[in-house]
Amino acid sequence: MTDTDILPAESTDPALKTRLCLMMFLQYFVQGCYLPIITLYLIQALGFSAWQIGVFGAALAVGPLLAPFLFGQIVDRHYATERVLAFCHLAGGVIMLALFVQQSFWPVVTLGVLYSILYVPTMMLTNSLSFQHLKDSDKEFPLIRLWGTIGFVVPAWIAEGVFLANLEGEALNTGRGIVLAMAGVVGLLMAAYCLTLPHTPPVKSDKKDLAPGKVIKMLRYRHFLVLVIVAFIISIVHKFYFQWNSPFLSAILKQADVTGAWEQRISSIGQVFEVLVR
């Protein structure tokens, strides 16, 4: 064994790690504002039917479908990551503020699709930016990502504990839209913050082949195919959970004669345990 074998891995500057933690906090704060409660808002405040909720939820899948092609194949290869993040959050913040005031079905669906196209890639890009600047990503990234989970939890307690406190009935139903305004404002703040992040230029590569083609070829390998199938099934469960969890909790609370806004905070308990486990 040589001396180099026992040398500890070089660690990232603490100031930079703090900045990356804040980036993750803001990134998932935005999602934590609306994702756990959006269905209940659409049903109780805007009067969407079950069919309309289904259309809205399915339409949001456009973002994850297009993200690898638009951002993984084009944007991420030609533009600096922090600038792409800033653009996506700036445009996304404006769209969220538009959703806050919009009440008609098809405009809401259209805005939702546009937002998903912009937001979904930012989750991958924040990971990519972190990995490029962390010197020991295996050990340091979990703590960075942990602040994303914390950021996802905090909006529930701000929205329901502050803005919706003591509201009931129709006032509460319409008031839930505040989460969209929160997501929009924090999204704009995130856009500005992204411009202060370390410069992360695109990775230069002489290869011209497209990643989707490589993925299709990899399906020939059994272990990768199993991974894809399992991920597909988990995604179905994930979609059902976040789409219908808030109406389910609302019905349970109503049966128990519990008034006020509690659904989002109850949903956040799961993420609280994620923080404790990590």
| pLDDT tens-digit readout, 90-105 | 999 999 999 999 999 9
User: What's the mean pLDDT in 97-120?
Assistant: 95
Flag the least confident range among 41-50, 163-172, 206-215. Answer: 206-215
User: What's the mean pLDDT in 185-210?
Assistant: 85
8 A C-beta contact, residue 76 and residue 128: yes
Show the domains of the chain with their CATH numbers: 15-277 (1.20.1250.20)
Q: Which amino acid is at 115?
A: Y
Q: What is the pLDDT of residue 142?
A: 93
Q: What is the pLDDT of residue 71?
A: 72
How many CB atoms neighbour CB 55 within 10 A?
A: 16
8 A C-beta contact, residue 10 and residue 136: yes
Q: What is the pLDDT of residue 37?
A: 96
State yes or no: pLDDT of 139 exceeds 70.
yes
What would the DSSP string read from start to end of 205-271?
Answer: ------HHHHHHHHTTSHHHHHHHHHHHHHHHHHHHHHHHHHHHHHHHHHHTT--SS-HHHHHHHHH
Confidence of residue 211 (pLDDT cuts 50, 70, 90): low
Q: What is the mean pLDDT of the chain?
A: 90
- Report how many helices (DSSP H) and strands (DSSP E) the chain contains, helices first: 13, 0
pLDDT digits (tens, 9 = 90+) for 68-89: 777 766 676 788 999 999 999 9
Residues 208, 79: Cα–Cα separation, whole Å: 17
8 A C-beta contact, residue 161 and residue 169: no
User: What's the mean pLDDT in 220-247?
Assistant: 91
State yes or no: pLDDT of 210 exceeds 70.
no
